[in-house]
Every structure is written in C-alpha cells, then in structure tokens.
C-alpha cells in the first residue's frame, strides 16, 4: 500500500509540474465539488444507458464504432493531465477541445460510453459497498457529464469489455466477429501479440507508450495508409492510445470505417482472445 501511495503522489507531482494551473481544478475537486457532486445525479435520471450485454450487442449487430469515457476525461478537460504508472498524456488544450467535440457528438454509427454504475452511485452507496475511497474518482464525471448528454441519445457502458464488471463477456462471439474482419490493431508494445492473426487479416501499427497526441497526424496517416485498399464494411480498427483513441475513432467513423476504443481490453483479455 505504501508503494501504491508513493506512485499516486509522484504522478500528482508530475501533473502539476507539466501544467501548474492544474492545481486549481485539483483543489476544487477535493474541497468543493466533493460536497456537491451527488446533487447532479438526478440530472441523469432520464438518460438511457445500455447494459453491458446490450452494449456489446449494439456494436456487434450493427457494426458500430465505440468510444469509452472513464473518470479521467473530465479531469483532463479541466486541465489535469493523465498519468498511470509510467504512462502519461500531458494536458493539451487542443486535445481537450477535440475530446469535447466527441463527447457532444450524436452520430448513429458511433456508440459513446460512460460509467453510470459509478456516476449514478451516491457517496453513501460507495461507503456502504466498502469502496468509499473510489468516490473521488467520479466527482468531476458526476458534475460535468451533464453538459454533454443528449436526452434523446442512447449511451453504452464503458466497462463492457472488462470481465470484472461484465461477468458474461461473450469471448467466443467476439472472436468469431473479429475473424470476419480485416483488423488493424493500433497500440504500443505490439511485440506482445507475436503477429497473431485475429481476423481475416491482421495488421499492427506501433503507437507511442505516452503522449500519443504529439504524434497524432503521423499515426492517422499510418492507419489510413493501412486501410486504403480494404473494403470499409469488412474493416475494423482496434485502438488503444488513451484519449487520442477517441479522436482517431471519430475521424475514422466519419469516413465510413468502424473502429473500437479498446483501452486495456487486450492487456486484460489477450490470453482468452488468443486461445
């Protein structure tokens, strides 16, 4: 636990070092938003969130793209960079602006996902379930998500890819779906895949381990070069590059392609997917 706390405080120091003004939203979250966040829960009572199972069905049955927003994006929009162990995406205003455009989007080919299981949970419920320390992660989500929600839109669940939450994740069904596609996997450390072919064809694009936004145009060009001769309806791009994934997926979807924001999916499920 002591080592974990050391890492957390080290990452906080790095956030403030990279963007000193981040200390303002940090303290607002801890000492003001913390007191009022639960007042915003009712704002989402009429919002339609799919279940985990429905989220997977939606993208498989309708060949949809998916982007997933966790607690970190709302911190980022307020000026707080993202840091996790040795990975980071320093705060950039232009990236924040792009993320806002994705959050507010209403595109029938793109399923936008959030975490209602945490956003709609009160502080008392967090404490009652023995996870009171996790409440702080969702404070900004509770308050600022309302700015982007469209009451006539249907949203998915961001944790639908994680078996810890989606206990009945359909690995076999997903594997069969992938086999019908020309896959392009965009992530860091692609050596872990050993050039495994998951689909009808599989291409890999090596992404940076941190600060992918600084190489956005280069990555986008590589992706479009890889897919230019592939039929759109049979192509699926799987991207795991932090918040930059969301922007790439928007660009791809608007050009008629299907792309998934996979996040840690391959880290968590690589063994089962390759069996």
Which pLDDT band holds residue 7 (cuts at 50, 70, 90)? low
Calculate mean pLDDT across residues 207-222: 96
Express each pLDDT in 124-135 by its tens digit: 999 999 999 999
Name which residue leads in pLDDT, 18 or 251: 251
Express each pLDDT in 155-196 by its tens digit: 999 999 988 899 999 989 999 999 999 999 999 999 888 888
Of 92, 124, 157, which residue is a domain's last? Answer: 157
Judge contact between 75 and 24, C-beta under 8 A. Answer: no
Asked whether residue 72 falls in the same domain as residue 143, the answer is yes
CA distance 212 to 249: 14
User: SS3 of 156, please?
Assistant: strand
Asked whether residue 130 falls in the same domain as residue 247, the answer is no
Asked whether residue 44 falls in the same domain as residue 178, the answer is no
* pLDDT value at 119 more than 90: yes
Judge contact between 69 and 245, C-beta under 8 A. Answer: no
CA distance 44 to 158: 16
Question: What is the average pLDDT score of the chain?
Answer: 92
Q: Residue 268's pLDDT is what?
A: 67
* pLDDT value at 263 more than 90: no
Asked whether residue 51 falls in the same domain as residue 145, the answer is yes
DSSP per-residue codes, 224-236: HHHHTTS-GGGEE
| Share of residues in the chain with pLDDT > 90 (%) | 80
Tell me the helix, strand and coil percentages in the chain, rounded to 5: 55, 15, 30
Note the residue count of the chain.
275
Element (H, E) at 238: strand 235-239
In a domain, 162, yes or no: no
Asked whether residue 190 falls in the same domain as residue 140, the answer is no
CA distance 261 to 247: 10
Q: Residue 4's pLDDT is what?
A: 60
What is the count of structural domains for the chain? Answer: 2
Express each pLDDT in 80-90 by its tens digit: 999 888 889 99
Element (H, E) at 112: strand 110-114
Chain-centre distance for alpha carbon 154 = 17
pTM of structure? 0.93
Express each pLDDT in 29-51 by its tens digit: 999 999 999 999 999 999 999 99
Q: Residue 154's pLDDT is what?
A: 98
Q: Residue 267's pLDDT is what?
A: 66
User: SS3 of 74, please?
Assistant: helix
């Amino acid at each position: 636990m002591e080592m974990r706390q050391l890492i957390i405080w080290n990452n906080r120091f790095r956030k403030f070092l990279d963007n000193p003004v981040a200390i303002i939203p940090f303290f607002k979250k801890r000492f003001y938003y913390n007191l009022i966040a639960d007042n915003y829960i009712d704002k989402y009572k009429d919002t339609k969130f799919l279940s985990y199972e429905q989220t997977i069905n939606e993208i498989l049955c309708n060949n949809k793209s998916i982007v997933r927003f966790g607690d970190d994006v709302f911190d980022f929009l307020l000026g707080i960079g993202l840091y996790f162990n040795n990975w980071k995406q320093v705060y950039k205003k232009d990236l924040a602006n792009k993320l806002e455009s994705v959050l507010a989007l209403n595109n029938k080919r793109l399923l936008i996902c959030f975490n209602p299981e945490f956003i709609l949970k009160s502080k008392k419920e967090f404490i009652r379930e023995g996870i009171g320390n996790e409440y702080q992660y969702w404070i900004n989500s509770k308050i600022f998500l309302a700015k982007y929600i469209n009451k006539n839109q249907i949203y998915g669940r961001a944790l639908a890819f994680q078996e810890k939450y989606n206990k009945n994740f359909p690995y076999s069904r997903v594997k069969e779906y992938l086999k019908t596609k020309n896959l392009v996997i965009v992530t860091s450390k692609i050596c872990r895949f050993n050039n495994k072919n998951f689909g009808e064809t599989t291409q890999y694009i090596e992404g940076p381990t941190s600060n992918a936004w600084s190489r956005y145009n280069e990555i986008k060009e590589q992706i479009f070069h890889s897919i230019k001769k592939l039929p759109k309806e049979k192509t699926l791009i799987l991207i795991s590059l932090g918040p930059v994934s969301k922007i790439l997926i928007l660009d791809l979807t608007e050009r008629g392609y299907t792309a998934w924001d996979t996040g840690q999916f391959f880290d968590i499920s690589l063994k089962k997917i390759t069996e």
